[in-house]
Amino acid sequence: MTDFTKIDELTVEQLTKTRIDIDVTVAGADRGTMTLELWPEVAPATVRNFVRYVAEGFYDNKGFHRVLSGFMIQGGCPLGTGTGSGPHGNIPGEFTGQPEYSHKRGVLSMARSQDPNSASCQFFVCHGDADFLDNQYAAFGRVVKGEDALDAVAAVATGGGEGSSPLEPCGIKAMRVYTID
**What is the end-to-end Cα distance of the chain in Å, rounded?**
11
What average pLDDT does the structure give for the chain?
Answer: 96
Q: What angle do CA 104, 79, 65 make, to 5 degrees?
A: 35
32 pLDDT more than 80 = yes
Q: For residue 163, count CB atoms less than 10 angstroms from its CB and return exposed for 0-12, middle for 13-18, buried for 19 or more.
A: exposed
Residue 2, pLDDT score: 84
5 pLDDT more than 90 = no
Per-residue pLDDT reduced to its tens digit, 86-98:
999 999 999 999 9
Model's pTM, two decimal places?
0.97
107 pLDDT more than 90 = yes
Give residue limits of the domains in the chain: 16-179
Architecture of domain 16-179 in CATH? Beta Barrel (2.40)
**DSSP collapsed to 3 states, 13-74:** HHHHCEEEEEEEEECCEEEEEEEEEECCCCCHHHHHHHHHHHHHCCCCCEEEEEEECCCEEE
CA 81/CA 77 separation, integer angstroms = 7
Per-residue pLDDT reduced to its tens digit, 41-91:
999 999 999 999 999 999 999 999 999 999 999 999 999 999 999 999 999
